[in-house]
Structures are given as structure tokens and as C-alpha cells.
A and B are shown apart, each in its own frame.
Chain A
């Protein structure tokens, strides 16, 4: 089984910051907007190097989304930065009308998604954002798994024409995907080959899925791990090819099981190749304060939970 090495824990938001810094140098029409969270979003470098292309909006997210939509009229590629909660739920109608329905080339970049935001608690831990954003016609939805992939995705979405939601997080997590790897929007990444169960994971749960696959391997269970960084459009071919081989699937995400990656996978399966599925996700609940590790454990979002779900789904084959 293919092994992956953690080259050192890093936060995905810093991957976004590094990508934005590079875009500052390479793409003159990229502009960045922030609603009073420049440090948290790691946008400081861009701000310092390109003050004329950095827009401090203040604590006014609705206005930020509208301004971003307007800047595309004039050929700019706006990247908005704030927490995931304030990037989606707070400004849903602004995104719906001024960005998605108007088909504006805005990149909504959202940090601190999910429970791993930690101690700030449920007011800030959005677990519904993937669902909100994937329901918008024309919206591309990406949730990256580590520093390197987040940086690569940040660069890739600048080259892509159309509205994008890019979701990442706060904590330092394993960095294991290739440095300067190519990021193909809508293309799943097969991380390990397996024959017994398919584990489809996104975001912070991808590393956990790899740990789970190793534990399952020791138990004689062969798991195929797929990194779905793009939830919409979903790489249906990759999912179906794998599940046709293994006959069952576990989906893993730091998101409510209502509206998340798991449901997108379910729909793909029932339409094409029905198979048993278990959901590693939050189960229609809010989060709470705690350390990221504590919360991942309490809400069943770690390798151990994926192992259990895999063993359960295998029995349902």
C-alpha cells in the first residue's frame, strides 16, 4: 500500500496566503478583499506587496461580496477572504444574486471552516457551507486537504473563469501532497489503491482517511482512498470506477452529513451503481468549544471513526 509522508504540519490557510502572494506577482488583474481578518486569512504579504490591489472592506461582508462582483466588471479577478461562516451563510443572498446568478468571476476564499476552528465555538464553526454553496447553480466548490494543495488550488482558480468557493481551515495539519503539484479542478486524486472499500474524503479528513487505510491494511482490509478536493463538479467517473471495484464506500468530511460531500456521492451512486455507504460527518448538529483534536474525536471525524465506518459498511455489502 502506498505510504504518504507528512513533511511537517502546516495550516491550509497559509497555503492560501502563499498562493495569493504568488498570484500577486504573476497575475496583475488579481485583487484581494478582506473583511477585517487579514492576519487570520494570511493575506498580509499580498497587502504589503500590492497595497493598490488590496481592499480592506471592514466588518461588512455583504458589501465585500458586492464590491467583488462589481470589480469583475472591469476585468479584475477578486479573491475575498474571511471565515467560512461569514463567507457563506452571512452573505448567501449577495452571493446568490450578485455572484452566482450574475455569473461573476469571484473567488470566495473561506478559512476556519468546520469544527477545527476550535475554541471560538459553534458561532464560528460552520458545518453547512458546502451544502449552501454547492446548491448554487454554476458555483464550483473546492475543499482542500493540506498546505500544498491549498496553495495549488489558489493558483488554479485564478486561471478558471467563473465563481468559486474555496474552503480551508485554521489548524496546522499534516502536509503530504506534492509541493508545487498540479491542481485540476473537478479531478479526483486516487491516493491508495484498494479492493475492499472506497474511502472518499475531502479537506482535513483526507489525512485521517490515509491513517485509517493503514490501520485497515493491518487488519487485512484493502482500502482505496480518494481525495475529492472538488465537491462540485464532482468527479463521478473516479467515484464509480472505484466503487464498482470495491462495492462499498465511506465518505469523510468536516461538514454536516446533510448537504455535504457524502450526499453528492450518494446521489451519484443511486443514479448509477447503488452501493452501501457510511457517512463520517457531523450528524445534523452544531459544534462547540474545544481543541481541534478533541472536537474531531467527539464529533467522530478522525481516522478511528473512518476505520469503524469502513468495518460497518463492509458488513453491509
Chain B
């Protein structure tokens, strides 16, 4: 990939945006957001075909649905830096009268958001509906989703996973952020998920694993591979292994930063590990 450096710079800036957003309001979810910086960057800077003019119906373009809405800081940063709204608006994250609500919503009309999410487990069903609408509209574009691994504990996901395979929703690429952590601790401690690959395959999905979910090149390769598997009668699942808190040494490999913001000193330390690239807002 000729512009890997540019993409890596983008990722680093996104990490700064995440940290600065949650620090300013002393709330929000930095851990999962940091872990998914490469995934969002790959989607919006490389893989997805979308229109710069946001239209809710999204006909003739790829769509993305974030099911685990609490990682809104990474979503907002990437949307802003992809041109959906002014980057300066990241300053309003979680503040009163802001379009950047704690969890993403259509309610305040923020461009780039097509469904509210936050209460977990609902995004896959919505994405399937959008994918069905695309089929009815003879629109060959793809619907992408992201889910937490812990989020798969919500039963509605399995209704949707069953439906998507049973109805050959093959214009859908659902990525699971396998970071092995959730609020109360390691996923294996809270409620072991077992073999996710075998589970999705048993339900009839085409599954690919990307073990290096914090390597932008590997993430793009994985998404492109997934894209090549669409249109073949099966929904496609990417099990994307990431590190929660990636890019900030003291936040990595722990659930402790799932929903906690850094203090001033911690922010300084974290930002020093992610030097400014595209310019802070």
C-alpha cells in the first residue's frame, strides 16, 4: 500500500482525538475506541465507497453501522476527519447541546450516523434491514458493521446471525472486535464466549480471522478479502483481534480503561506516545 504512512498518521491523530475527547469531559470509553482506530481508519479512508454528501437513505453507497455505540470517540474522530462534520466539533463531545452525544444518535442530526446505538446488541439487526433494503433497491453496495466481542452476549445478536445466514444476506460484512475485555473484566471471566469462529460457521457465515487488528495494512487486507467474499450467498464475518487501549502503554491489555478517562498527567503521557500528525482540533 503506497500510502501506509499517511494512514498510520491518520490512526495516530485519531488516537489523540479519542484521548482528548474523553479527557475534556472526564467520561467516555477510551479503551475500545483506541483498539479500533485502525479498523475505522481502514473503513473510511480506504475500503468503503461512500458519498461525501450525507444522505440518510444511503442509496448507491456502502453503509456502516456501529453496534457497540460506546466507542463513539473513535467513530466521531474518523467521521470528522473524513469530512462528515467539522473537526472542531470534537470539542463538544458529551457536552450539553452537542450533536456528539455520549453514544451515537441520529436525534441531533449528526452527519454519518444512521441509527442510535449504545444499548447493546441491536446493530446487526438494523444492518440486516439496510442490507435487505439494498437488495430490494438493486443496490450492489455493501453494509458493514462493528460489534464488541462481549456484546455478543446479548441474545438479539444470535437471532440476527441466524437470520442473516438463513436468508443469504451476502451484502453484509460484520466485524467483531475481539479484544477479550468488557467492563467487569476479561470476557473469559465474565462469560466465556467459546469458539466464536466455530459459532459463526455453525450458523452458516463465512468467517475470516484477522489476528493483527492494530496493523492498518492487515486490517485493510482483511476487509478487502471480506469484500471479495460478498455476493456468494453467505454473510461474512471478520473476527478482528485487537488490543483494548492500543497505542497507550498503560491502557493496553486491561479492561480498566473501558470506560474511564485519563487525568491531566495520564493524558500528557498518552499524547506523548501519539505525537500530533494531522493537527489537533
Chain A residues in contact with chain B, CB under 8 A?
A: 31, 52-53, 55, 57-58, 60, 62-76, 78, 93-94, 96-98, 101-104
Contact = CB atoms under 8 A, between A and B. Distances in A.
A94 B133 contact: no
B122 interface: yes
B131 interface: yes
Nearest to B69: A97
Interface in B84-119: 105-107, 114-119
20 contacts: A31-B136, A52-B136, A53-B136, A63-B128, A63-B160, A63-B163, A64-B125, A66-B125, A67-B128, A69-B126, A70-B130, A70-B133, A71-B130, A73-B56, A73-B115, A74-B130, A74-B139, A96-B119, A98-B116, A98-B122
B57 interface: yes
A68 B127 CA distance: 10
A52 B136 CA distance: 8
A88 to B, nearest CB: 16
Contact of B136 (A65, A67, A76, A98): A76
Contact of B125 (A31, A65, A75): A65
B129 A66 contact: yes
Given A74-B133, A74-B137, A75-B137, A97 B125 contact: no
Contacts of B80: none
Given A73-B58, A101-B116, A102-B107, A66 B124 contact: yes
A204 B57 CA distance: 38
Interface residues of B, number: 38
B56 to A, nearest CB: 6
Contact of A97 (B118, B136, B155, B160): B118
Nearest to B156: A62
Given A60-B163, A74-B136, A101-B105, 15 more contacts: A57-B163, A58-B166, A60-B162, A62-B159, A67-B125, A67-B132, A67-B163, A70-B125, A70-B132, A74-B130, A76-B133, A78-B129, A101-B107, A102-B107, A103-B107
Greatest chain B CB density within 10 A among A60, A73, A75, A94 is at A73
B106 A103 contact: yes
Which of A52, A57, A62, A70 has the most chain B CB atoms inside 10 A of its CB? A70
A76 B116 CA distance: 18
Contacts of B134: 74
Nearest to B63: A73
B27 to A, nearest CB: 20
B116 A97 contact: yes
Given A98-B116, A101-B116, A102-B107, A71 B159 contact: no
Nearest to A96: B119
A72 B123 CA distance: 14
Contacts of B128: 63, 66-67, 70
Nearest to B169: A67
Nearest to A100: B116
Interface in B145-162: 155-156, 159-160, 162
A112 to B, nearest CB: 22
A66 B106 CA distance: 15
Nearest to A61: B159
Contacts of A97: 116-119, 122
A165 B251 CA distance: 46
A62 B155 CA distance: 9
B208 interface: no
Nearest to B109: A103
A176 to B, nearest CB: 38
A102 B162 CA distance: 25
B106 to A, nearest CB: 5
Nearest to A103: B106
Contact of B129 (A53, A69, A96): A69
B61 to A, nearest CB: 11
Nearest to B160: A63
Nearest to B113: A102
A58 B124 CA distance: 16
